[in-house]
């Protein structure tokens, strides 16, 4: 409501809105200080930067914080120069706000190095802001951000994990093996081709479904068809959301038809669990073109594979009745009864 009022006031009053806005600039709720500053800049009000700069030395930290937020919205070389001085403010909130403002304003010479000093700040939320600022302001921030991968606060490590691909290899590996699920998930989403080996292990071994799903997402975005071999084991995942992510990733890499053909290669796998998972995966891809190849699984030595064929036949075959009649004579009672139930339902 306040933001809408500020915008409407400027629309109606133009420069005449300068005084009521300036009066509130440094004493308004902190969440709208930047909006007021931008409104004053929009109407070309004079002396706003000067007022904010003067407030940077105010004894009340709330006004210093408001001044930092205002300068972040106003921008300009002068704003950057004065914001740098607030990186040493006694109050952690002011230091963090200065970092956020500098990150927003861009890459003035040496600012990134100044911000990097606060990666060792005693307050965790300042270190989080420092990670964000360094990642944005430094062209190759990996070496500077590396210590954050071992920070004692998981939220700091989480912020560092969002830049895993830019970090040195050992730092990225540490984040992918982090004890905190959200850190591993963020690292998996931000990882690059260099971390292919670690992602392939996490995809099948990580105890958290969110991490395994993040691995599938990242692998699918690598645009290298050879990555498909790393993804295929994920079709056996116990989590349906992970299996769906794996199939989406395979389609990204190979197209739907290519993914279906690659999965059909698993019919020759020695492990019955993989053959069974391949049948269900092909059903989710609606791969009717592979019907003739799938029919060979009606004689698979594992009953669970044959049962998967019963469950998926309606999707995989235009005319599944002949297959169902064959499976209704299966030696396994469960397979046989499942096929018989399908036939009874269709014949009603």
Residue 135 within any structural domain of the chain: no
Q: What pLDDT is attached to residue 128? A: 98
Tens-digit pLDDT profile for residues 133-173: 999 999 999 999 999 999 999 999 999 999 999 999 999 99
Query: Residue 91, exposed/middle/buried by CB under 10 A (0-12, 13-18, 19+)?
Result: middle
Same domain, 111 and 12: yes
Say which CATH number the domain at 274 has: 1.25.10
Asked if 176 and 195 touch (Cβ cutoff 8 Å), the reply is yes
Q: What pLDDT is attached to residue 47? A: 85
Q: What pLDDT is attached to residue 42? A: 86
pTM confidence score: 0.88
Q: What pLDDT is attached to residue 40? A: 84
Residue 20 within any structural domain of the chain: yes
Count how many domains the chain has: 3
Say which CATH number the domain at 262 has: 1.25.10.10
d(CA 126, CA 137): 16
- Within 13 A of 225's CA, how many CA atoms are on the CB side? 7
Closest CA to 326 of 348, 288, 278, 294: 294
d(CA 20, CA 16): 8
d(CA 88, CA 82): 11
Same domain, 231 and 280: no
Residue 148 within any structural domain of the chain: no
Tens-digit pLDDT profile for residues 68-102: 999 999 888 888 999 999 999 999 999 999 999 99
Q: Which residues contact 210 (CB under 8 A, 6 or more apart)?
A: 181, 185
Q: What pLDDT is attached to residue 23? A: 85
Q: Tokens 């989403």, residue? A: 189
Token reading at 321: 């009745």
Q: Tokens 């930047």, residue? A: 34
Residue 305 within any structural domain of the chain: yes
Same domain, 294 and 217: no
Q: 248-259 burial, b if ≥16 CB within 10 A, otherwise e? A: ebbbbbbeeeeb
Q: What pLDDT is attached to residue 291? A: 85
Same domain, 2 and 94: yes
Residue 161 within any structural domain of the chain: no
Same domain, 250 and 287: no
Asked if 291 and 321 touch (Cβ cutoff 8 Å), the reply is no
What torsion do the CA atoms of 218, 224, 225, 227 make, to the nearest 10 degrees? -50
Query: Residue 272, exposed/middle/buried by CB under 10 A (0-12, 13-18, 19+)?
Result: middle
Residue 142 within any structural domain of the chain: no
Same domain, 64 and 6: yes
Domain end position, chosen among 208, 243, 266: 266
Same domain, 96 and 5: yes
Same domain, 213 and 248: yes
Token reading at 284: 């989710």
User: What parts of the chain have a pLDDT lower than 70?
Assistant: 107-109
Could you tell me the end-to-end alpha-carbon distance of the chain, in angstroms, rounded to an integer? 62
d(CA 69, CA 87): 13
Residue 138 within any structural domain of the chain: no
Residue 177 dihedral angles phi and psi, to the nearest 5°: -110, 15
Same domain, 63 and 176: no
Domain end position, chosen among 220, 240, 266: 266
- Within 13 A of 70's CA, how many CA atoms are on the CB side? 31
Domain end position, chosen among 75, 102, 129: 129
Residue 229 dihedral angles phi and psi, to the nearest 5°: -65, -30
- Give the Å distances, CA to CA, from 23 to 5, 20, 36, 230, 234: 15, 5, 10, 61, 60
Same domain, 202 and 185: yes
3-state secondary structure of 348: coil
- Supply the range of the domain harboring residue 304: 269-348
Residue 224 within any structural domain of the chain: yes
Same domain, 125 and 31: yes
Same domain, 236 and 299: no
């Amino acid at each position: 409501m306040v933001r809408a009022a500020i915008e409407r006031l400027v629309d109606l009053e133009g420069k005449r809105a300068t005084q009521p806005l300036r009066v509130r600039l440094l004493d308004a709720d902190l969440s709208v200080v930047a909006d007021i500053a931008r409104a004053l800049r929009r109407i070309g009000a004079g002396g706003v930067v000067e007022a904010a700069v003067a407030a940077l030395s105010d004894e009340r930290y709330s006004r210093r914080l408001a001044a930092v937020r205002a300068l972040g919205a106003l921008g300009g070389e002068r704003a950057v120069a004065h914001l740098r001085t607030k990186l040493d403010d006694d109050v952690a909130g002011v230091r963090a706000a200065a970092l956020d403002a500098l990150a927003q304003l861009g890459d003035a010479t040496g600012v990134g190095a100044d911000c990097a000093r606060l990666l060792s700040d005693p307050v965790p939320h300042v270190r989080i802001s420092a990670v964000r600022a360094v990642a944005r302001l430094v062209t190759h921030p990996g070496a500077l951000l590396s210590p954050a991968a071992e920070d004692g606060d998981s939220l700091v490590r989480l912020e560092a994990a969002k830049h895993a691909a830019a970090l040195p290899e050992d730092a990225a590996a540490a984040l992918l093996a982090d004890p905190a699920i959200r850190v591993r998930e963020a690292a998996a989403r931000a990882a690059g081709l260099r971390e292919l080996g670690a992602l392939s292990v996490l995809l099948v071994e990580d105890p958290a479904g969110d991490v395994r799903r993040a691995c599938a997402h990242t692998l699918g975005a690598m645009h290298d068809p050879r990555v498909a071999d790393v993804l295929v084991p994920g079709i056996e995942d116990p989590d349906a959301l992970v299996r769906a992510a794996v199939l989406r990733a395979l389609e990204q890499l190979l197209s739907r038809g290519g993914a279906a053909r690659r999965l059909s290669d698993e019919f020759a796998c020695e492990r019955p669990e993989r053959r069974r998972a391949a049948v269900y995966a092909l059903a989710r891809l609606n791969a009717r073109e592979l019907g003739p190849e799938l029919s060979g699984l009606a004689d698979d030595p594992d009953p669970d594979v044959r049962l998967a064929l019963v469950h998926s036949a309606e999707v995989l075959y235009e005319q599944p009745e002949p297959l169902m009649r064959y499976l209704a004579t299966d030696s396994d009672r469960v397979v046989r009864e499942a096929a018989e139930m399908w036939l009874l339902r269709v014949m009603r």
